[in-house]
Amino acid sequence: MDTLPLNSLGFAKRPQDTRVVVAMSGGVDSSVVAAMLKEEGYDVVGVTLQLYDHGAALAKKGACCAGLDIHDARRVAETMGFPHYVLDYENTFREAVIDEFADAYLAGATPVPCIRCNERVKFKDLLETAKDLEADCMATGHYIQRKMGTEGPELHSAADSNRDQSYFLFSTTPEQLSYLRFPLGHLASKAETRALAAKYGLSVADKPDSQDICFVPNGNYAAVIEKLRPGSAEPGDIVDQSGHVLGTHKGVIHYTIGQRRGLGIGGLGDPLYVVKLDPDTRQVIVGPKEALSTRTIPVREVNWLGDEPFDSRPEWHLKVRVRSTRPPREAVIRPISATEAEVELLQAEEGVSPGQACVFYDPDSTRILGGSWIWKGR
C-alpha cells in the first residue's frame, strides 16, 4: 500500500482521519483556524478554557476567555458542525498565572502574564488534554510560523510583522512545538483573517481584537493587585537617585519603569522618569531619561530552540527583543549556564524592566531561537 502524501498539518493520512484540537478563545483568529480546518475535512474538536469567574466578566468585551467569548466559540462550533468543550481552568490559572503576576508587581517587576499563560496553561495542561482526546496535534490562532528544519520543527516569525506574536511564545519547548500547529502564521494581514471569517459565515468576523490582559479590566493593574493582595497600595516617597525626597506616592504598584506622566513632581527642570522601584523601602526612584538606558541585562529561565546546546558556545551574536512593542536589536548573549545568561545590547535600550521577556532571534533569518526572563534590578 502506498503511503499517503502529507496533509496540510504534516501527517501522512487523510484529513478526516486526522484529529486536531483547536484552542478557541472566542476571537476571530482561533475561530477561523477551527473553521478552516473543518472545511479542509479534518476531525476538529474545539476547546475553550474558562480561566476566571466569567460571571464577573460577562458584560466585558475585549478580553479573551470571558463568558461572551465562550458563547462566541460555541456558536462557531455550531455553525461549522464540530464538537466544542469548555474546560474550567480557574484554579490552574490563578495558581500558575494570576498569583505570580500579583507577586511580581509587588516586587517592583513588570510581568507579562500572557507568556506564562501560554507556557503553563495553554501549551501544558490544554496540550495534555488534547493528547487525552487522542488528537494528532493542537492548533491555535497565534500569528507565528512553524517550519520544518534539518533538526526538526522550528519557530519562525509571522509573515505579517505587525501581527507577529513571537514575543509571547518564546517559552514554547521543542516537544510542544512538535505537537503544535499555527495555521495563520503565513497570512499577510489581519484583513485576510477577517475575510476568511466572513467567507465561512462566522458571527465573529467583525469582532474587535482583545486589548487588555484578560483578568485586568480596562488596563487597571493596580486595582487588580489591590484586590488580590489587600494592603499592597501603601504610600511612600518619590526620591531622586541621591535619595532626596521629591514627593509622595500612593503605592509602588501604580508605577512602572520608564513612566513619566502622573508623578506629581513637575516643575523641577528636566523631565523625570521612574528608573527603579523599591518595594522594600516603598520608594519610587526617579531620574533623567539617560538613567533609563541599559546595555547589560541579566536573564534566566532560558528556553533555547537552537540546534546546538545553548551553553556550547561562549557567546551568541543574535538579535533580541526586550519589549513586545519594539523591534529586535543586535546583542551578544553570553551563557552562564544552560538556563542563565548575560545579554549585552550593542545599543542601549530605555526602560528595560525586570519581569519582561528577552526574546532571541536569528539575525539572518525569521527563526526564533528562544528567549528568557529579565531579572534583578538595574
Question: How far lies 181's CA from each of 37, 69, 184, 268, in Å?
Answer: 11, 22, 9, 54
Is 36:29 a contact under the CB 8 Å cutoff? no
Is 117 part of the annotated catalytic residue set? yes
- Alpha-carbon distances, residue 263 vs 78, 173, 248, 255, 275 (angstroms): 51, 41, 9, 9, 12
Name residue 349's amino acid: E
Contacts 24+ apart (CB under 8 A), 283-290: 283/236, 283/237, 283/238, 283/239, 283/252, 284/236, 284/237, 284/238, 284/239, 284/249, 284/252, 284/255, 285/239, 285/240, 285/241, 286/238, 286/239, 286/240, 286/241, 286/246, 287/240, 287/241, 289/350
Let me know the angle formed at the C-alpha of 113 by 60 and 215, rounded to the nearest 5 degrees: 20
Q: At what angle do helices 67-80 and 28-39 cross, to 10 degrees?
A: 20
The three-state secondary structure class of 84 is strand
- Residue of 64, 65, 114, 117 with catalytic role: 117
| 65 among known catalytic residues | no
Cell of 347: 545599543
For residues 101 and 232, the answer to whether their CB atoms sit within 8 Å is no
| Cα separation, 366 vs 166, whole angstroms | 10
DSSP H or E segment with residue 222: helix 221-228
DSSP state of 101: H
Q: Which of 64, 65, 137, 214 is catalytic?
A: 214
Neighbours of 95 (CB within 10 A): 12
Catalytic residues: 117, 214
